[in-house]
A and B are shown apart, each in its own frame.
With several copies, the nearest count.
Chain A
Amino acid sequence: MALQTYVQTIARTLMEEMRRDERVVLLGQDVGRRGGVFLATEHLFDAFGPDRVIDTPLSEAAIIGAAVGMAVHGLRPVAEIQFADYVFPGFDQLVSQAAKLRYRSGGAFTAPMVVRMPAGGGVKGGHHHSQNPEAHFVHTPGLQVVYPSTPSDARGCLQTAVRGDDPVVFLEPKRLYRASKEEVPRDVDQLLPVGVGVRRREGDDVVLVSYGASMRETLQAAEALAQQGIAADVIDLRWLMPWDQALVLERVAAVGRVVLVSEAPHSGSMLSEVAATIAEEVLDMLEAPPLRVSGFDTPYPYAQDRAYLPGPNRILYAVQQVLDY
């Protein structure tokens, strides 16, 4: 098998899903002839034509809202938001319509749909091309949220998301679009179950919990720790709602020390939820406080694009603190 980048994997998986099920349609800005500004929908317009790969007007509300209506009519829409930062003009459609439809109709209507969006920084895009808005979705009951960190996870989670019966916010770490390559199987189902995380490394000295783009720096930190003889257990949450509470609690209880990593702003983040849950459920097993290594409570900067990210040094510093505690 040849190596395949993250973004190629998205395009290939969409191709397979559209072949498998003709109810799957794509919509978004530039998803058609252009194949998406990141080429995440490359070749699909040629393969399926304008009825199934729909270039929309420049309106995120139209994109997300229309996807709800298509889903209600029996299609399986996969919507693209060009950058996660641009979901906000369509945020109401996610929060007020998609997320609550099943509930408010007592189950009469559902919105099986996927809203894909490249997220995260490190691409010199400034604060409107770098954000990680996952906490907003996690705090919106009715949405599933997933942020896979590798090409093959992206494939498995996308299959699950497209075939599921819920609205799924599908975040893609844009700085890994080309940087992350793997051998990815094709034409076989590899659905990754909703809400199940994965251990990327095993170790007994400290648990590192992360997801999405920050997995890369987290694994780099774990590697550096290994050099120093410190064995980190590394959990990739993959799904953020529901998230794999059982796995995290089990490992943290066993190890007693945990550092949480993600690049979203610090206050009110996904990490806050994980840390709060840890404190609530396994307090007595903690040998040190659960530390969060995160983005800052600032808009994402431009000139200091890299400094904003929780890089290996900041992770190592936190690990040192929990080890020394």
Chain B
Amino acid sequence: MITDAQRFQPFSEEPIRLIDQSGAWLGAFPCDLDDATLHAMYRHLVLARAVDERLVLLQRLGKISFTASAAGHEAAQVGTAHALRVGRDWIFPYYRDTALAIAVGWPLVELFGQMMGTRADAARGRQMPAHPGSRDLRIFTVASPIASHLPAATGTAIAQKLAGAGDATVCTFGDGATSEGDWHAALNFAGAQGAPIVFVCENNRYAISVDLRHQTGSDGLAVKAHAYGMPGYLVDGMDLLACYYVMRSLLEAARDGLGPALVEMTVYRYGPHSSADDDSVYRDPAEVAAWRERDPIVRFRRFLTARGGWDEAAERELRAAVTRTVDEAVEAAEAAGPVPVEWLFDDVSSRPTPQLERQRERFRAARRAAGEDVAD
């Protein structure tokens, strides 16, 4: 239930914020979450950061081919995740949403399996790292082409509206994504149909090296909602509770038939765009350092501490548990072993075409002729 005080104003000049840097609560309403929930949120932040760091490490060790760090985006993603009804609402994420996937419960073994392309990957090793997906959790499997998932998200939301079960969809993307034609097509169709969907922009102000000023002439991204007849909200994306409450109220509004919304969460990515990037070419280290000062995890911990019920001991225990969890997951994912070569021929369509069958036969024959192990 959303109280009146928990409804927010669209198109505000200043980002919506509920906790300040020191951890103090700024809200016009009391935080109505219990300790268990708040601690679960914090655990997700810490776990996501730990996973992130491990992925960077695994990439350096050559165990995974690529990683796109979510560090700096965690509050936005975890706040969003907790506002969802997991398993009912649909999630259309993008490649940087590992914290979101973790916070809705994506099993870590699947996560690392996906990253390593082993048999632990529910998607059978089909995609490069950082492409989450889960049928059970209604996470629409990530595709690399920027913004290409948005029209599908709108379609799912329209289907939800037709089904009338009061479910909603969340669709996330970066600031760069807002320039794509598909982004426009999706928001416009959702607006025209009043579909129950919240579009969430994780605005870290860079699309690889291209800064926001080269990306668009608009003053921020929330204002783009004007073009679709939906409200646009500017939110401090380093403030987990601001993200959570805004998303909770908008999802409830969507479920109530009030239609779509656009949320801009201002975040920062601490790492390079990906393991293939060198951000020193286009970002001032001082800028990165300044944003590091505003680490979303630190801020939320301060809030917990200030509120009471969180102390050094709890912190130590959490960190140790998280490390164990990550260690175990990595190990299990790796132990699952590589996917067989011939899996490459499966899942193209409901039944393989005669054309593909023939290709597979010739492939097998060539391997046999070369003395390669066909079973593998």
A and B in direct contact, judged by CB atoms within 8 A:
yes
Residues of A in contact with B (beta carbons under 8 Å apart): 25, 29-30, 32-35, 37, 51-52, 54-59, 61-62, 64-75, 77, 85-86, 88-89, 92-93, 96-97, 100-110, 124-129, 141-142, 144, 164-166, 194-195, 241-243, 245-246, 266-267, 296-299, 301-304, 307-308, 313-314, 316-318, 320
User: Is B143 part of the contact surface with A, judged by Cβ < 8 Å?
Assistant: yes
Report B-chain residues with C-beta under 8 Å of the C-beta of A243.
355
Report B-chain residues with C-beta under 8 Å of the C-beta of A97.
143, 148-149, 151-152
Given contacts A64-B151, A298-B344, contact A313 B179 (CB under 8 A): no
User: Is B209 part of the contact surface with A, judged by Cβ < 8 Å?
Assistant: yes
5 contacts between A and B (CB under 8 A): A65-B186, A72-B152, A128-B145, A241-B353, A303-B117
Shortest Cβ distance from A185 into chain B, in angstroms?
26
A69–B154 touching, CB < 8 Å: yes
Contact among A59, A128, A303 for B189, CB-based, below 8 A: A59
Shortest Cβ distance from B48 into chain A, in angstroms?
23
Chain B: CB-nearest residue to A307: B341
B169-202 interface code vs A (CB 8 A; 1 in, 0 out): 0000000110111101110110011000000000
Q: Which of A56, A165, A166 has the most CB of B within 10 A?
A: A56
Given contacts A58-B176, A302-B117, A317-B366, contact A92 B182 (CB under 8 A): yes
A129–B152 touching, CB < 8 Å: no
A300–B313 Cα distance when bound, in Å, is 49
Chain B: CB-nearest residue to A51: B162
| Other A-B pairs, 12, CB within 8 Å; known A75-B159, A93-B151 | A34-B281, A57-B192, A57-B216, A70-B155, A89-B180, A92-B145, A106-B124, A108-B133, A108-B135, A313-B366, A313-B370, A318-B366
A58–B179 touching, CB < 8 Å: yes
B179–A125 touching, CB < 8 Å: no
A71–B159 Cα distance when bound, in Å, is 9
B100-123 interface code vs A (CB 8 A; 1 in, 0 out): 000000000000000001000111
Given contacts A25-B162, A70-B158, contact A128 B143 (CB under 8 A): yes
User: Is B306 part of the contact surface with A, judged by Cβ < 8 Å?
Assistant: no
User: Is B66 part of the contact surface with A, judged by Cβ < 8 Å?
Assistant: yes
A69–B152 touching, CB < 8 Å: yes
B281–A304 touching, CB < 8 Å: no
Shortest Cβ distance from B79 into chain A, in angstroms?
24
A89–B181 touching, CB < 8 Å: yes
Given contacts A57-B192, A66-B154, A109-B141, contact A195 B353 (CB under 8 A): yes
B356–A69 touching, CB < 8 Å: no
User: Is B3 part of the contact surface with A, judged by Cβ < 8 Å?
Assistant: no
User: Is B227 part of the contact surface with A, judged by Cβ < 8 Å?
Assistant: no
A110–B350 touching, CB < 8 Å: yes
User: Is B15 part of the contact surface with A, judged by Cβ < 8 Å?
Assistant: no
Shortest Cβ distance from B140 into chain A, in angstroms?
7
User: Is B36 part of the contact surface with A, judged by Cβ < 8 Å?
Assistant: no
